[in-house]
Amino acid sequence: AFGLGGGGAVSVFALPVEVTVAAASFSSCLAVGGQGGGAMSVLGVISFSLFSTTFINSTALATQSLSGGSGGAICFAAAFNVSLTNASFIRSAASEVGGGIYA
């Protein structure tokens, strides 16, 4: 999956709700610029829970014209009550900070 501007596979933006991801697998996700988060970009949620989820080969890249590049697998910004249970991060990378997670 590829995302220009953040969240290569999933982008959750300013939802005043609870978000749950369970028993998911994200592989070979790429986000270029924007918020970051090779597989997921999570911005402005009240509660985020992730259970039994695997991230493989997720990458967040910054460019000269686009910022980003943080959180190889997941980038959290203004996310409250974040819970990760039994999550695996395999070969996640970021050109800026947070190879697996940036919060």
pLDDT in tens, 23-67: 999 999 998 877 788 899 888 888 899 999 999 999 998 876 666
Tally of structural domains, the chain: 1
Instruction: Read off the pTM.
Output: 0.87
CB burial readout 50-88, b (16+ within 10 A) else e: beebebbbbbbbbeeeeebbbbbbbbbbebeebeeeebe
Tell me the pLDDT band of 93, cut-offs 50, 70 and 90: very high
In the 3-class helix/strand/coil scheme, how is 48-90 assigned residue by residue? EEEEEEEEECCEEECCCCCCCCCCCCEEEECCCCEEEEEEEEE
Distance CA 69, CA 98 (A): 9
| Domain of residue 93, residue span | 2-102
